[in-house]
Chains A and B, each alone.
Chain A
Amino acid sequence: MRRISAMLALLVLTAPAQAGVLRVCADDNNLPFSNKAGEGFENRIAALIARDLKDTVQYAYALQNARFLKHTLFAHRCDVVPGVTAGMEGIETTRPYYASTYVFVARRKDALDLSSLRDPRLRRLIIGVHLIGDDSTPPVAALGREGIVDNVRGYMIQGDFSKPNPPARLIEAVRDKEVDVAAVWGPLGGYFARRSGSLLEMRAITGTEAFAPLRFRFAIAMGVRPGDDALRDKLDAALLREKGAIRIILTAYGVPLVEIDGVRNG
């Protein structure tokens, strides 16, 4: 069995990017972004772009951890990574196709109505955040700088990948009252808040200016290998043509959209 997968890997490795196929790198267990069943919004956008280019989509899946790019894009198992940060180092990025923000997710009936990072209630509420192995998400760093540490609960962003959508544990922690509020990346917060019925609500995080150079809003693009300008240009054109349809998909998934650095959504 292992030999077969090794052979398959070899085949994929040696296969050149074929005309008519958009080879997409994605995580097969990471809603709302992507999963194996194609239910994520990045799956939907990839399908949309492929259709625009008259290509079919072919996926190379890998766990989206720190070594994701090495195992997918740089192993030449696929050619495009949706959902990377615009201008990210070490990779060529397309024009951004949306921008979002970190958000607070809380239980609706608590009526916290929390949006500012400088809200004094953050000193006593139990705040859930995502932890990344050797780095931190902006809310953790900002709270740490404010000396808000003791009431912060960390959830590993990758968590246990044998369970569905590991990053969703943080949102479940709000639902299950392990924490009062989660400070989380908008697309995750928006999607799971919407799916909670009316149990959870989401507010964009504001009051972040004092924490520069920490940023809480990010423009999102597609990534290709450095030097793969032809593919980048093709994707740029398709993303522009499909911007209306992309906006509809993002809205349907509850992704909070913002405008930054002259990036207009959709």
Chain B
Amino acid sequence: MRLLLCALVALLALGLAATAADLGQLARDDKQWVMPQKNYANTRFSGLKQITPDNAAGLHVAWSFSVGTNHGQEAAPIVVGDTMYVVGAYPNELFALDATTGDLKWKYSPRVDPSSQGEACCDVVNRGEVFDNGKIFFNTLDDHTVAVDAKTGKEVWAVKLGEFTKGMTLTMAPLAVKGKILVGNSGGEMGVRGWLTALDENSGKIAWRAYSVGPDKDVLIGPRFHPYYKDAQGKDLGVKTWPPGRWQVGGGPVWGWIAYDPATNLVFYGTGNPGPWNPDERPGDNKWTTTIFARDADTGEAVWADQLNPHDLYDYDEVNENLLLDLPIGGKPTHVLVHPGRDGFMFVIDRATGRIYSADAYDTITSEKSFDIKAGRPVMNPALRTMSNKNVTGICPASPGAKDWQPTAYSPLTRLLYIPHQHLCMDYEASEVGYIAGTPYIGATVDMYAGPGNYRGEFAAWDLTQRKKVWAIHEKFPVWSGTMVTAGNIAVYGTMDRWFKVVDARSGKLLYRFHAPSGFIGQPITYQGADGNQYIAMLSGVGGWAGALAVKSAGLDPRVRNGALGYTGAMGDLPAFTSGGSTLLVFSLGAANAPH
């Protein structure tokens, strides 16, 4: 009977994988997890409820797997049918595993140019892969997007989208939408001009490319563009809000998350910081950096844009995820986009128009006094303005923001948003001697440290209706991992000091923890195996911008507080808790590992 059931489930799963034309449909099957975001709405919510607060204490490791190299592991595994796919940090090997047993089915090893390692700003991470129509799509650090046959592991196509020799890399997880693969670039610190590119899923050919900076024709701003705020209205603002020509090295990379709304056929994503960092060199709003764009998925045409940090002073990228939710606004159910901002504000934005309904602080903010939702701009704190000849202390949040790339999750049952994030402030010190390529200069350095309360990270639950924090768990280090939540009312995250944690989604009560081989900066997922058991999977392996210090190969000196763009100062004790790692951990409640 049990065998028959297994076979049936497998058959069903196989059938789904083979015939499903619509990824959105496939994403609704909670047995699988077909994209890092779980679904187009980016909720990272699964309907599975075998694991609950009542039984989570019985979790144990069902199987584990090494992706090979000890760099920061930020990727989410995905599960399609009975197969799990997971991509490691550079050199970006892709593995296919039996999702139930952990047996290796195949591996695909791209030939990634080792020189590209020198170009990534913040460790050589990769944030994951996506499935669509029988293929797995992912990016390699040396600027290739690759399509691999999901069954055989054979490369179908690989296209090169840029030159890492000019500072550009690819680290984000692509998204598949209606036969197109959407890819964005990294490298805002290197003078790279940011873009989002749509590739034909079958050939890899570029269907459209939307730049973040430059003239309207490059940004794909045309007749359909109707921004809500006055500051975003006008011709060629991607040129006019910069000193002449400076937009060409203006940044605005697209290395975070993309959401898709099938009802309106719009994709939503945020752009990164302007380049160079020193704001004195780029007077003006520097559009369209740190901007949320809504674009037509078929053509890339911009429909609206909200620039959240005009003339960014603090490296507040706005690449963070956008969750597509229906929330009551003024008593009326409204289609909104929720964006937990890098600057520490929780933005609730109308999906159709870009109008900002609310922006509430979810962490300590000193750099901005408030966010003016009428003007669509932050009210800056002039006392904390950075300048090349002035030291400024007590800037909160620090450059990585109140939250960086690590994605939140939303449960429609608890109606809470689960936010893994950091709690750091920084001092900005002008006039530090540096040198590059033989050229000495006086530059600024930043030094980060724990925010008020003397903790550096937090896992918080935020009530989007009440617009307030309901509970929070303080962590020693920034919570640089993603999270997910289930219908069983459990939420999962990992800490940089190696704890895998399962908490009660209603109260935050710790239900289960496991001391992993290395710290976590990955993304948890859940799925149902062929044996009917619910599994939770997450990569351990500390690193990334926050954890580079613990990765020996990154070679950072803990005595230099300003390493890793100022992050090492806040992380000096991390090597006492963890070193690098590369282990995928898979947990379940199933029978312990007795031989069959």
Contact: A132 with B276, CB < 8 Å? yes
- Docked complex: B157-193 residues within 8 A CB-CB of A: 163, 165-167, 189-191
Contact: A63 with B243, CB < 8 Å? no
Closest to B437 in A: A64
Contact: B441 with A158, CB < 8 Å? no
Is A97 part of the contact surface with B, judged by Cβ < 8 Å? Answer: no
> Bound complex: CA of A87 vs CA of B435, how far in Å?
11
Contact: A136 with B443, CB < 8 Å? yes
> Bound complex: CA of A130 vs CA of B438, how far in Å?
12
Is A159 part of the contact surface with B, judged by Cβ < 8 Å? Answer: yes
> Bound complex: CA of A42 vs CA of B437, how far in Å?
12
Among A89, A152, A159, A215, chain B packs the most CB atoms within 10 A around the CB of A89
- Closest chain-A Cβ to B76's Cβ sits at a distance in Å of 27
Is A109 part of the contact surface with B, judged by Cβ < 8 Å? Answer: no
> Bound complex: CA of A185 vs CA of B434, how far in Å?
13
Is B214 part of the contact surface with A, judged by Cβ < 8 Å? Answer: no
* Cβ–Cβ < 8 Å partners of A167 in chain B: 437-439
Partner of A141, one of B118, B190, B280: B280
Is B595 part of the contact surface with A, judged by Cβ < 8 Å? Answer: no
Pick from B54-62, B222-230, B244-252, B350-358 the stretch touching chain A: B244-252
Is A33 part of the contact surface with B, judged by Cβ < 8 Å? Answer: yes
Is B560 part of the contact surface with A, judged by Cβ < 8 Å? Answer: yes
- Docked complex: A50-71 residues within 8 A CB-CB of B: 62-68, 70-71
Is A135 part of the contact surface with B, judged by Cβ < 8 Å? Answer: yes
Is B557 part of the contact surface with A, judged by Cβ < 8 Å? Answer: yes
Partner of A131, one of B249, B434, B562: B249
* Cβ–Cβ < 8 Å partners of B432 in chain A: 89
Contact: A89 with B560, CB < 8 Å? yes
Partner of A140, one of B278, B431, B565: B278
Contact: A85 with B244, CB < 8 Å? no
Contact: B389 with A213, CB < 8 Å? yes
* Cβ–Cβ < 8 Å partners of B191 in chain A: 131, 133, 154, 156
> Bound complex: CA of A36 vs CA of B389, how far in Å?
38
Closest to B246 in A: A154
Is B510 part of the contact surface with A, judged by Cβ < 8 Å? Answer: no
- CB-CB under 8 A for A88 and B434, given A145-B389, A159-B166: yes
* Cβ–Cβ < 8 Å partners of A162 in chain B: 163, 165
- CB-CB under 8 A for A133 and B438, given A141-B388, A158-B190: no
> Bound complex: CA of A33 vs CA of B562, how far in Å?
26
Contact: B277 with A133, CB < 8 Å? yes
Partner of A160, one of B163, B283, B431, B442: B163
Among B191, B245, B437, chain A packs the most CB atoms within 10 A around the CB of B437
Is A220 part of the contact surface with B, judged by Cβ < 8 Å? Answer: yes
Number of chain A residues whose Cβ lies closer than 8 Å to a Cβ of chain B: 63
* Cβ–Cβ < 8 Å partners of A89 in chain B: 432-433, 560, 562
Is A226 part of the contact surface with B, judged by Cβ < 8 Å? Answer: yes
Main secondary structure of the interface of A (DSSP, over half): mixed
Is A104 part of the contact surface with B, judged by Cβ < 8 Å? Answer: no
Contact: B437 with A156, CB < 8 Å? no
Closest to A72 in B: B555
Contact: B555 with A71, CB < 8 Å? yes
Contact: A134 with B437, CB < 8 Å? no
Closest to A211 in B: B389
Closest to B565 in A: A134
> Bound complex: CA of A118 vs CA of B95, how far in Å?
61
> Bound complex: CA of A136 vs CA of B441, how far in Å?
7
Contact: B278 with A188, CB < 8 Å? no
Contact: A134 with B277, CB < 8 Å? yes
Contact: B431 with A213, CB < 8 Å? yes
Contact: B442 with A133, CB < 8 Å? no
Contact: B165 with A136, CB < 8 Å? no
Contact: A135 with B280, CB < 8 Å? no
* Cβ–Cβ < 8 Å partners of B437 in chain A: 27, 30, 33, 64-65, 157-158, 166-167
Closest to B387 in A: A145
Is B444 part of the contact surface with A, judged by Cβ < 8 Å? Answer: yes
* Cβ–Cβ < 8 Å partners of A67 in chain B: 118
Partner of B431, one of A30, A74, A132, A214: A214
Closest to B248 in A: A154
Is A187 part of the contact surface with B, judged by Cβ < 8 Å? Answer: yes
* Cβ–Cβ < 8 Å partners of B277 in chain A: 133-135
Contact: B276 with A153, CB < 8 Å? no
Contact: B189 with A133, CB < 8 Å? yes
Closest to A85 in B: B440
Partner of A83, one of B246, B315, B438: B438
Is A90 part of the contact surface with B, judged by Cβ < 8 Å? Answer: yes
Is B430 part of the contact surface with A, judged by Cβ < 8 Å? Answer: yes
- Docked complex: B78-119 residues within 8 A CB-CB of A: 91, 111, 114-115, 118-119
Closest A-B pairs by Cβ, 5 of them: A135-B443, A144-B280, A33-B438, A134-B277, A133-B189
8 contacts between A and B (CB under 8 A): A62-B118, A132-B436, A132-B443, A135-B443, A154-B249, A160-B166, A185-B440, A213-B442
A63-B118, A141-B278 known; 7 new pairs, CB 8 Å cut-off, are A70-B554, A89-B433, A133-B167, A144-B280, A154-B281, A167-B438, A220-B440
